[in-house]
Amino acid sequence: MTRNVYARFWREGLVWRVALSDLTGEHRMRDLTFASPEKIEALAQRGGAMKDLAAKQGIAVGIRNGAGGFKMILDNNQFAKVSLGAKW
């Protein structure tokens, strides 16, 4: 079984923030902080969000503009890791 998770990211000073939530945005699961945008690309890659050229370019444009988002398709193991502490 797979779960869809939305990752919204933005630059805040010298760091990058990522908020993970369900696709509706109502249930926020976890907030992450990264020092570099390469970590956001790695997260998107592991989450299956960079499946085609358009998706890769969309993430690259978001990083260049300082904010963006992408949908990840996670298996049960991956979902359990990101939803720790989430109230579902």
- Report pLDDT for 88: 44
Task: Supply φ then ψ for residue 43, to 5 degrees.
Answer: -60, -45
Q: What is the pLDDT of residue 86?
A: 52
For the stretch 18-72, pLDDT in tens is: 999 988 777 888 999 999 999 999 999 999 999 999 999 999 999 999 999 999 9
The number of beta carbons lying within 10 Å of the beta carbon of residue 7 is 23
Q: Which residues pair with 20 in a beta bridge?
A: 7, 30
Helix (H) or strand (E) holding 72: strand 67-75
Rounded to two decimals, the pTM is: 0.88
